[in-house]
Structure 1
Amino acid sequence: MSRAIDAIIFDYGNVFVGWKPERLYQELISDLRERAFFLREICTPAWHHQHDQGAPMAQTVPRLQAQFPAYAREIAAWDERFGDMLTPADPEMVQVLVAYIARGGRAVLLSNMPAEKKDVCLSLFPRLDLFETIVVSGEEKLAKPDAAIFRLALQRLGLPAERVLFVDDLASNVAGARQIGLLGHQFRSALALAADLKKLDA
């Protein structure tokens, strides 16, 4: 039986390592409702997406502080303590990757990540050597789910979309990948991914 795929393009945050802003801000903002407000209305996912697209925090942080001066310290912490919003690599996902490569698979890392935080983010993962290439959105100034960044990853792999599986925790990113012909897996757990790979004979 032939393989259904030749390679996997993996997301990073909430696949291999945890991305948990709450982890930092539960220390800085003790009140649950206030903390939820801060992460929903001030340091929002849309605001952070600018960094994934290449905007430097040296510009975005002061602008946001000017809008919300009462939260200047907490906004600054997004930059100054970025690593405290991350959690260590999931050993089960490391095992899934190692086993997939051992079976002859190929892997690429494609992450929405600020270029200036690349080193602190990637330092949490012990087997970067298993990825043929690492595509960081902030360096490319393209971010998922933009089709262009998926095409860039495919170009570096040298494979057609239909021979590649894309793994991401966000449904919007998986949908974007499928629109250009990639196979898609919305990540829930290492166990579920391993089962899907078995079905694909990958």
Structure 2
Amino acid sequence: MPHTIIFDLGNVLIGWQPRALFEKVFETTEEVDHFLANVATLEWNEKQDAGRTIEEGTRELIAKHPEFEREIKIYYDRWTETITGPITGTVEILQALKASGKYRLLALTNWSHELFPWARQTFPFLELFENIMVSGEVGLQKPDPAIYRLLHETYDLKGYHDCVFIDDSLRNVEAARKEGLDTIRFENPEQLRRELRERGVEGV
């Protein structure tokens, strides 16, 4: 039975959808698709998650795509509009785990160090975690094996033998599994609840 439960945040506990912002910015779905697939890509955003400053990332992208200067600046100027709110069912699971008093609760998130303070202020349930490792603060990001090893060392996880890691990203889950973690790929709160119960987790 797990003793330590490690949560991803984005799209597990907190909804994040850049489309939610850019559907307000562009007139057509095709324009949104093109911008997010070819300009402000996930790969570009991940460099900010790994520690690059927003100013540097924005400047670099404008240099590559000057025709989208306005929209590129909007990405971070209106970044909070990409956050769609708490995923209520998962928050309820987290609260139940905390209330049980039986589990160590940690979080491991890919998030810019410049933006994460806003999340801490906005979502009080983040205080339920013993600690949150933020990729932009440590200069590493999932699925780099080094961030799982840093998590192991920082929080003395003793070989992961009693840990379970929850993430919506297949590549992050696969990388964690290779490091020795038991993993759950998050799909929805009910599926998560079911898989935790299958592992003997109580109170959910």
TM-score of the superposed pair, with normalisation by structure 2: 0.94
Report deviation, 1:154: 2.2
CA distance in structure 2 between the partners assigned to 1:162 and 1:44 by the alignment: 36
Tell me by how many angstroms 1:81 deviates: 1.0
Do the aligned partners of 1:54 and 1:139 also contact (CA within 8 Å) in 2?
yes
Aligned to 1:157: 155
Q: Structure 2: 5+ residue runs without aligned partners?
A: none
Deviations 1:124-179 (A, max 9, x none): 32212211111000010000001111122222332221211110000000000001
* Aligned-partner SS, 1:178: helix
- The answer as to 2:176 corresponding to 1:188 is no
Shift, 1:94, TM fit: 1.3
- Output the amino acid matched with 1:109: A
> What is the aligned-residue RMSD (CA, Å)?
1.1
1:60-75 mapped onto 2 (5 Å cutoff): 60-75=57-72
The Cα shift of 1:200 comes to 0.8
Residue 114 of structure 1 aligns to a residue whose secondary structure is coil
Structure 2 counterpart of 1:41: 38
Match of 1:123, SS state, is helix
Structure 2: how far apart are the matches of 1:146 and 1:124? 28
When the two structures are aligned, how many residues end up with a matched partner?
199
Aligned-pair CA distance for 1:40: 0.1
In structure 1, list runs of 5 or more residues that go unmatched: none
Query: What is the rounded CA distance, in whole Å, between the counterparts of 2:165 and 2:122 in structure 1?
Result: 21
Q: Is the 8 A contact 1:133 1:156 kept in 2?
A: no
Pairing 1:54–2:51 present: yes
Task: Provide, for residues 65-87 of structure 1, a one-character-per-residue CA deviation record: whole Å limited to 9, x for no partner.
Answer: 12111110100011111111011
Greater alpha carbon shift after TM alignment, 85-94 vs 42-51:
85-94
**Contact 2:110–2:134 (8 Å) recurs in 1:** yes
Q: Give, in whole Å, the separation in 2 of the partners of 1:70 and 1:50.
A: 22
Matching residue of 1:130: 128
Question: In the TM superposition, what are the counterparts of 1:1-202 in structure 2 within 5 Å?
Answer: 4-103=1-100, 104-159=102-157, 160-202=159-201
Aligned-residue offset at 1:123: 3.1
Distance 2:99 2:200 in 1: 13
- Alpha-carbon distance in 2 for matches of 1:83, 1:157: 30
Identity of aligned residues (%): 33
Contact 1:83-1:121 at 8 Å conserved across structures: no
For residue 12 of structure 2, give the secondary structure of its aligned residue in structure 1: coil
Q: Is the 8 A contact 1:109 1:131 kept in 2?
A: yes
C-alpha distance in 2, partners of 1:100/1:177? 22
- C-alpha contact (below 8 Å) 1:169/1:186 kept by paired residues: yes
Give the SS at the match of 2:86: coil
Contact 2:11/2:87 (8 A) holds in 1: no
